[in-house]
Amino acid sequence: MAIKVGERMPAGTLKVMTKDGPKDVSTDDLFKGKKVVLFSVPGAFTPTCDAKHLPGFVQLADQLRAKGVDTIACMAVNDVFVMNAWGKSSSVGDKVMMLADGNGEYAKALGLELDAHKFGMGTRGQRFALIVDSGVLKSLNVEEPGQFKVSAAEHVLGQL
C-alpha cells in the first residue's frame, strides 16, 4: 500500500557520498524540521531521468528554495557510487542531494516500488516527487507508466 498524503514518512536509511566516502542518512535526519522535495527516478543515467528529471530540479533549485524548500533530494535504486557519479556528471553541486536506495528498501517502505524485471533492472522505485514538511507527506505525485508530468520540477514548483 502506497503512502498517503497526511501520513508520516516511514523510517529508513539511505546512502550519500561524502568527501570521506559513503555515509548513511536516516530519513529522520533528512526530514526532521525541514521542507523537503524528494523525487525518485527508476535509474541513474536512464534516458528520461538523465535528460529531463534530474536536470529540471538542478535548473529550478533556486526557485524551489525561494518557496521554502530546505532540501531537494534525488533517490534511485542504485548504489551510492553510481549516484555520486551521476551527480558529478550532471553538475548537481550542492543543489540536489543524491541519495542511494541501493536495495530498494525505502521505495518498498513507501509502497512505491517498481517491477522493472522486463527491462533487466530488477525492482526499482517508481518515478515520483514528494513534498514533505517536518516528516509529514504534503504532496504525492506518482507518474503513470511511461509518463513524465506530475513529478517534474515545474509541476512541483507550482505546488509550493
Instruction: Give the residue numbers marked as catalytic.
Output: 49
Partners of 35 in beta bridges:
133
C-alpha cell at 46: 536512464
Q: Are 27 and 13 in contact (CB under 8 A)?
A: yes
Q: How far apart are the first and last CA of the chain?
A: 26
CA dihedral 17, 111, 156, 16 (to 10 degrees): 0
Bridge partner residues of 44 (DSSP): none
